[in-house]
Amino acid sequence: MRTRPGPTTRARVRELNGATARERRDDLATEEPLEIRVTAPDGGRRTVAITMRTPGHDFELAAGFLHGEGLAGPGDIAAIAYCTDEDLPPEARYNTVTVRLRGPLPDLPALERHFLTSSACGVCGSASLEALRDRCRPLPADPLRLSPGVLYGLPDALRRGQGVFGKTGGLHAAGLFTGEGALVGVREDVGRHNAVDKLTGWAALTGRLPLAGHVLVVSGRASYEIMQKALAAGVPVVCAVSAPSSLAVELAREFGMTLVGFLRGERCNVYAGEERLAME
């Protein structure tokens, strides 16, 4: 039987440096598919997503995906396990997760066109703001105020928490911080949406939702899907080291979130919710 895949894979490479070349071994970020299935007490079963991900924290990824899509909250999940169905080949068992629900299967037609997702795609969230309005409300006002010193220090703090990135240089990261800048948790993945799902899934499975008073920092751009996942988890502030999309900004403004982009060094752009920043 195949061993459980890890977050890194060793490979031999030929390194060129000027006119010289040498053979050496390199660490690569592992990328493998993960199928997420849900089952119900009445025997119902359904695959809800197949995504390319970095192995590790797979149960959190499944829980975070279901919560972010509004399909199942922490109280709806009875158990999560790797699949051992007889129809599944042994080499795929660590790449298939089954989430056993306490109640019936959720309404899934909206996910039909999102069945297959990649680690880089943007089709693993709700289709539009209109769909999001049906299940989410604007975030309530909160006392969170970020000082410039805390804000500017977040990317470096996230980078220090990226253990696998240090080996491979090929992973996105999502970090959760307090309003004082303390790192609460970090997750890495080849897919930026997966990294956020792993982090919010961890929060869901450990009874930490909603994440009021916290800051989500992502190592790439801020997409609509990332903002949707943050909103579902109750995160009031999202910071990205790169650019946001137009729909991400629209979502932040409509739902009372703070969105910061291009957070690098001691500069950034604030696209929404500047009232949460304690600037002079």
* Best CA proximity match to 276, nearest among 168, 142, 177: 142
Residue 265, annotated as binding a ligand: yes
154 is in an annotated binding site: no
Between CA 136 and CA 277 the distance in angstroms is: 24
Q: What SS3 state is found at 178? A: strand
Q: Are 60 and 202 in contact (CB under 8 A)?
A: yes
**Residue 83 is a catalytic residue:** no
139 is in an annotated binding site: no
Q: How many whole angstroms separate alpha carbon 7 and alpha carbon 190?
A: 10
User: Where is 261: in which H helix or E strand?
Assistant: strand 258-264
User: Is 103 annotated to bind ligand?
Assistant: no
Q: Letter for the amino acid at 11?
A: A
Q: Is 267 annotated as a binding residue?
A: yes
Tell me the two tokens of residue 132.
């999001």
Selecting among 83, 121, 136, 239, the annotated active-site residue is 121
Token digits of residue 65: 């995906």
Does 113 appear as a known binding residue?
no
Cis peptide upstream of residue 140 (ω within 30 degrees of 0): no
Tokens of 62: 């499944």
For residue 224, what are its two tokens? 């609509």
130, 132, 137, 138 alpha-carbon torsion, rounded to 10°: -80
Residue 162 tokens, joined: 């990226």
Strands 77-82 and 8-17: unpaired
Neighbours of 115 (CB within 10 A): 12
Catalytic residues: 121
Please enumerate, by residue number, every residue annotated as part of a binding site. 262-267
